[in-house]
Amino acid sequence: MKILDINEEKLSELCLRIDSEKKYKIEKFRNKKDKIRRLIGEILIRKIIVKTLGSDNKDIKFDRNKYGKPYLKDYPEFNFSISYSGDYVLCAIDNKSIGVDIEEIKHIEYEEIARSFFTVKEFDYIVNQNLNFQLNKFYEIWTLKESYVKCCGQGLSIPLKSFTIEVDHNKNIRVVSKNGLQEYTFKIFDIELGYKIAVCSLNKEITNNILRLEQNDLINNLL
């Protein structure tokens, strides 16, 4: 979903439709765009739960595991992951653990970041590319690593250098750690120029389809 501006009155009204803990966290953001991203992410997953499971919004209860990953109480086979960046909010759902990450591509000192947080093999994969493609490849590895960490559900308790994302010449993607090759499925999406998306799942297949929703339709539906 591409986010749009929301006036303060409607922001306050929408915050009344979510639980008090999330409302408190959203209101703490000083940047209005951060507030909107988080609020829309919360409304989006609620919309998906209502449509998928037939629940009433008021009956939706979330909890967190010991690493802080949110989950839907009483529905162990409903798994979701939410990510925010730039003008977009993205949500992925699955019947097994899933992780999604979206990043707005910004011109940053990617070599220094890659040296600090990526493995040697990942760093080489980036810098051995043509200079014009290196930034794009940096974000490719970054989103793949983030999606994997989210899928594992252990957050940054998993050091980013403790595993390697390998992308071969045929664009096949796998993750290798000290425990060896692990059975995760990855997929990369390009929704538009300037953004990179990666999804990681314990299922063997990830759909190619991304459903685009309109923010105003989502808000009107909730209200």
Domain definitions of the chain by residue range = 8-95+209-222, 100-201
CA distances from 138 to 23, 102, 106, 118, 150 (A): 34, 13, 11, 10, 18
pTM for the model stands at 0.93
Given this model, what pLDDT does residue 57 score? 87
Question: Exposed, middle or buried by CB within 10 Å (0-12, 13-18, 19+), for 39?
Answer: buried
Tens digit of each residue's pLDDT, the chain (223 residues): 999 999 989 998 998 888 888 889 898 888 999 999 999 999 999 999 999 999 898 899 999 998 889 999 999 999 999 999 999 999 999 999 999 999 999 999 999 999 999 999 999 999 998 999 999 999 999 999 999 999 999 877 889 999 999 999 888 999 998 776 678 999 999 888 899 999 999 999 999 989 999 999 999 888 8
What single-letter DSSP state applies at residue 160? G
Which tokens hold the place of 99?
């992780």
φ, ψ dihedrals at 54, nearest 5°: 75, 20
CATH code at 8-95+209-222:
3.90.470.20
Domain pair 8-95+209-222 / 100-201, same fold: yes
Domain 100-201 architecture? Alpha-Beta Complex (3.90)
Given this model, what pLDDT does residue 131 score? 92
